[in-house]
Amino acid sequence: MERTLSIIKPDAVERNLIGNIIKRFEDAGIKIVAMKLLKLSKAQAEAFYAVHKERPFYGELTDYMSSGPCVPMILEGEGVILKNREIMGATDPKEAAAGTIRADLAIDKEKNSVHGSDAPETAAQEIAFFFTEYELAG
């Protein structure tokens, strides 16, 4: 069984969209096996997105990600890494397929409501960033 890291980002938490987003995962048969609500510091947001540190949007992205609470979750299911990316939609909501989280809810290419790991290696790293083994429910 595969696992991935999802984050409901600050723009979605602020607009009371936690339930809306979680319902989409549950309706798709995906299990939430760990979840918390927290506010990242600027330094933590920089560490989480270190892979993007040379990109022009890195400063703004890490300001935004540390601007308010977010909800990291571990999702579990068969092929859940790819399945989650499909449910999320493309990075830019203008390019996201109809019915995806980002098409329906995102504000713009930066404030795009959700994060999802993109491969098994990043999923393992990103899960370990937010959760310890004993925080896993099942």
- Among candidate residues 115, 116, 130, 131, the one labeled active-site is 115
132 is in an annotated binding site: no
Is 115 marked active-site? yes
57 is in an annotated binding site: yes
Does residue 8 bind ligand UDP (CB under 6 A)? no
Does residue 118 bind ligand UDP (CB under 6 A)? yes
Q: In this chain, which of 61, 81, 101, 127 binds ligand UDP, going by CB under 6 A? A: 61
3 is in an annotated binding site: no
Question: Own/partner pairs for 99-103, CB < 8 Å, 24+ apart?
Answer: 101/21, 101/24
Residue 94, CB-side half-sphere exposure with 13 Å CA sphere: 3
* CA atoms of 22 and 114, how far apart (whole Å): 11
Does residue 110 bind ligand UDP (CB under 6 A)? yes
Q: In this chain, which of 34, 112, 123, 126 binds ligand UDP, going by CB under 6 A? A: 112
Cβ atoms of 12 and 114 within 8 Å: the answer is: yes
Query: Site residues (CB under 6 A) for ligand UDP?
Result: 52, 57, 61, 91, 109-110, 112, 115, 118
